[in-house]
Amino acid sequence: MSKTLTCRELGGVCDENFSGEALMDIVNKGMPHMMSDEEHKVSIMDMESRTGENKDQWMTRMQKEFDAKAED
């Protein structure tokens, strides 16, 4: 069963939806979008300073959020 996260939930700046069977499916679908314009790129590049999380910490948190999400 699929789950959906928004760009904003992933740390981006809009409400575009990305769905997948696993968190990595969603991340892989979302990355081209997140690199599509300057506002998204800045958001991603500044994420560590905004959240205090490195990539591994972010992935751990996002996996917990993905696991807690209801299936579509």
The model's pLDDT over 33-50, given as tens digits with 9 standing for 90+, comes to 999 999 999 998 898 898
Q: What is the pLDDT of residues 9-23, one digit of tens each?
A: 999 999 999 999 999
Burial of 27 (0-12, 13-18, 19+ CB in 10 A): middle
Q: What percent of the chain has pLDDT over 70?
A: 100
Q: Name residue 17's beta-bridge partners.
A: 6
pLDDT band at 1 (very low <50, low <70, confident <90, very high): confident
